[in-house]
Amino acid sequence: MARRAAGEHRLTGDRVNGSLEEPVRQRLLAEATRLFAQRGFESTSVQEIVAAAGVTKGAMYHYFDSKDDLLHEIYARVLRLQMERLNRFADAQGPVADRLHGAAMDVVVTTVDNLDDSKIFFRSMHQLAPETYKNVRAERRRYHERFRDLVVEGQRDGVFRGDIPAEMVVDFFFGSVHHLGTWYHPDGPLNGQEVGRHFADLLLNSLRP
């Protein structure tokens, strides 16, 4: 890892001392994200990334250990962001149905706002080094479990039907979410909010007892 321990990943736009920090690093991450989403990880060369970011290879290898490391940083950023947002909804007050509806809508809106991240996520996951792959899956599992707990809570309270495994409901719903990258287009008839509302409605309705 290049001069940055795990967990230190920064989001684009983070500021330190009031000025944009490490603009080269951020530009590399941004262009890599765009290109990986467009062409796939294996079909994007380091040369293309650095050219898009307006630097040379040396610069990239100064900030990242490898091309794999670049991908890993993208995953880390996405995972952290999604978990943060889910926690905010799950920890809120109010009926579980409302909290689940809110979380479901939010994940759709966030996904639509970062469609490139979403495209990369499942398409390129298998390219990660085994170790990294395991970490990402584990983190992803924790995310699913947090979401599943909301379903379980609703089933226990009797507001959701209990004859379908909560685990499967989560997989069912996130399948739909992850697939947004395949069909959703920002210029289409629906914006993220609208798709989010529909998806959340479908989820809640499917759980009606």
Partner DNA sequence: AATGAATGAGGCTTCATTCAT
Partner DNA sequence: AATGAATGAAGCCTCATTCAT
156 binds, among DNA, a copy of itself, none (CB under 5 to 8 A by kind): none
19 binds, among DNA, a copy of itself, none (CB under 5 to 8 A by kind): none
Contacts of 24 (CB under 8 A, 6+ apart): 53, 55, 59, 63
**Considering Cα of 177, then 181, then 182, then 185, what sign does the dihedral take?**
positive
Using the rule CB under 8 A, which residue among 161, 185, 191, 193 binds a copy of itself?
Answer: 161
Sole window of 17-25, 26-34, 74-82, 121-129 interacting with a copy of itself (rule: CB under 8 A): 121-129
Q: How far is C-alpha 85 from the chain's CA centre? A: 11
- Of 179, 73, 66, 47, nearest to 122 (Cα)? 179
End-to-end CA distance of the chain: 50
d(CA 74, CA 208): 37
Closest approach of a copy of itself to the CB of residue 165, in Å? 7
Using the rule CB under 7 A, which residue among 36, 63, 121, 199 binds DNA?
Answer: 63
d(CA 207, CA 175): 16
Contact positions vs DNA (CB under 7 A): 3, 24-25, 43-48, 55-59, 61-63, 65-68
Contact positions vs a copy of itself (CB under 8 A): 39-43, 122-123, 126-127, 161, 164-165, 168-169, 171-180, 182-183, 190, 195, 198-199, 201-203, 205-208
